[in-house]
Amino acid sequence: MSVVELADVTYAYDGRPAVEDVSLTVESGDFLGLVGPNGSGKTTLLELLTGLLRPDAGTVTLFGEPAHRFSDGTRVGYVAQETTGTAGGMPLTVREVVTMGRYPHAGLGRLGRDDHESIDEALETVGIAHLASRRISTLSGGQRQRVFIARALAADADLLALDEPTVGVDAESREAFYELLRELNESGLTIVLVEHDIGVVTAFASTVACLNRRLYFHGDALEFTESDALRAAYGANQRLLEHRHH
Ligand code: ADP
């Protein structure tokens, strides 16, 4: 079953296309790594495929329906880039943030025992149960990203979308973070990960989409490194890319 289908999708800012004519399908159980040079439209594409942005042309179908219907944040968990200020500034505890994931399920009523169990389980799964009563402003970047994943799990999200989640996270925690994503994917969660580090994507993702405004490659992660798409999409940035990987 496909989770997301993009057909001939174009999106422009002030008349300048950031994403052009992209067709792409994400199947249930995929772990898709979305790569491309800086400014190649990765964030824009992630926002399109989660229904946060509506395309200027083409269609985005999420769970068989127009994508913008899912902006209520239950079936799609969106983990934004770790930017200073926003999340860190919220005077909330870890448990409070994860609890937000449950409210759409509880409706107007109070949270029930099932909801609290679901919150506890989400905290356990991402390995932050011991941090439940900490304010999120006191956490490291990597821990904070886990909180947002737990919120998505508490919401029973079917798709987890992450935008360069480990920018500013130290190397050791990064590895553990991607291991967590792999485990979540192995237990059935569909994941789309925007990531500038191609080494991470080929090590952890099962499929790769390579973007530079247009889609240059979509297929098996192992085939990607051997394809010409990398060179074609990165063009003059290729040297920088090789430098980064050796
Ligand atoms: P990436 O995530 O690959 O770095 P983005 O999707 O953020 O790429 O951006 C793609 C292009 O669209 C870039 O040229 C960027 O400058 C432009 N862009 C992104 N967001 C906006 C915006 N809100 N307004 C105008 N231009 C934007």
* Residue 77 in contact with ligand 1 by CB distance below 6 A: no
Same domain assignment for residues 164 and 144: no
Do residues 173 and 187 share a domain? Answer: yes
- Predicted ipTM? 0.98
Please name which of 48, 95, 54, 57 lies closest in space to residue 76, comparing C-alpha atoms: 48
Query: What pLDDT was estimated at residue 85?
Result: 47
In this structure, the answer to whether residues 166 and 67 fall within a common structural domain is yes
Confidence of residue 188 (pLDDT cuts 50, 70, 90): very high
41 lines ligand 1 (CB under 6 A): yes
> Which of 13, 20, 167 has the most ligand 1 atoms within 8 A of CB, as the residue to mutate?
13
Same domain, 48 and 65: yes
Across the range 9-24, mean pLDDT stands at 97
Between the CA of 13 and the centroid of ligand 1 the distance, in Å, is 8
Same domain for 164 and 62: yes
- Of 157, 181, 207, which closes a domain? 157
Exposure letters 20-44 (e unless 16+ CB within 10 A, then b) = bebebebeeebbbbbbbbeebbbbb
Together in a domain, 171 and 70: yes
Pocket test for ligand 1, best of 40, 44, 195 (most atoms within 8 A of CB): 44
Ligand 1 atom with least separation from CA of 163: 2
CA–centroid distance, residue 39 to ligand 1 (Å) = 6
Is 43 within 8 Å of 87 (Cβ atoms)? no
Can you give the residue range of the structural domain that contains 25?
Answer: 1-75+158-246
Does residue 37 have its Cβ closer than 6 Å to ligand 1?
no
Same domain for 182 and 241?
yes
From ligand 1's centre to the CA of 66, what distance in Å? Answer: 23
202-230 confidence digits (pLDDT tens):
999 999 999 999 999 999 988 887 777 77
39 lines ligand 1 (CB under 6 A): yes
44 CB within 6 A, ligand 1: yes
Whole-number Å distance, alpha carbon 173 to ligand 1 midpoint, is 28
CA distance 207 to 141: 26
How many domains does the chain fold into? Answer: 2
Residue 39 DSSP symbol: T
**What's at 192, amino acid-wise?**
V
For position 46, which CATH number holds? 3.40.50.300
Residues 60, 45 within the same domain: yes
- Ligand 1 atom at minimum distance from 46 CA: 6
* Same-domain check for residues 69 and 171: yes
67 and 175 part of one domain: yes
Q: Are residues 149 and 174 in the same domain?
A: no
Q: Are 200 and 242 within one domain?
A: yes
Closest CA to 149 of 209, 191, 194: 191
Looking at per-residue pLDDT, the higher value among 121 and 173 belongs to 121
Please give the distance, rounded to the nearest whole angstrom, from the Cα atom of residue 58 to the centre of ligand 1. Answer: 19
Is the CB of residue 40 below 6 angstroms from any atom belonging to ligand 1? yes
Please state, in angstroms and rounded to a whole number, the distance separating the CA atoms of residues 181 and 175.
10
**pLDDT at residue 59 is higher than 70:** yes
Closest to 187 measured CA to CA, from 49, 28, 58, 57: 28
How far CA 174 is from CA of 72, 161, 185, 195, 245, in Å, comes to 29, 17, 17, 12, 16
Distance CA 83, CA 14 (A): 25
67-96 tens-digit pLDDT: 877 665 678 999 988 755 455 566 899 999
Residues near 166 by beta carbon (within 8 Å), at least 6 away in sequence: 82, 141, 142, 145, 173, 174, 177, 178
